[in-house]
Amino acid sequence: MTEEYLDPIIHQPVRTRIFACLASAEEVTFSYLKKTLGLSDGNLTTHMKKIMDAGYAEMKKDFVNNRPRTTYKLTRKGRRAFEVYLKRLRKIFDEIGK
């Protein structure tokens, strides 16, 4: 059980939900994440920064109707990390049933 450590970048109340969102789609906008997860702007920015600093997601900026739009998507590395995370979580909980 010891080595089944849970990636602290992913295993955090807000970020786990962000990852679930990102994993379920190709890419997701800042506004969508904010609304869907009910986060403050600052909170979302800093969490995304942390995820990107880990190399788990990347950002794209463009304009739609003269408004800035920031889009995030998981990198290959991020998707892989999330898979490993899910596998470990499952293993940990499977052991409860002994």
Partner DNA sequence: TCAAATTACTTTGAATAACAAAGTATATCA
Partner DNA sequence: TGATATACTTTGTTATTCAAAGTAATTTGA
* Residue 22 beta carbon to its own copies: minimum distance, rounded to whole angstroms: 10
Sheet of strand 57-64: strand arrangement: 28-29, 67-74, 57-64
Residue 76 contact partner, candidates DNA, its own copies, none, CB within 5 to 8 A by sort of partner: none
Q: What is the largest CA-CA distance in the chain?
A: 57
| Contact footprint for DNA (CB under 7 A) | 8, 12-15, 29-31, 39-48, 50, 61, 65-70
Nearer to DNA, 36 or 46 (CB): 46
The residue to which tokens 């602290």 are assigned? 8
Provide the CB-side half-sphere exposure for 57 (13 A, CA).
30
Residues that bind its own copies (CB under 8 A): 1-8, 11-13, 16-17, 20-21, 23-24, 36-38, 86, 89, 92-93, 95-98
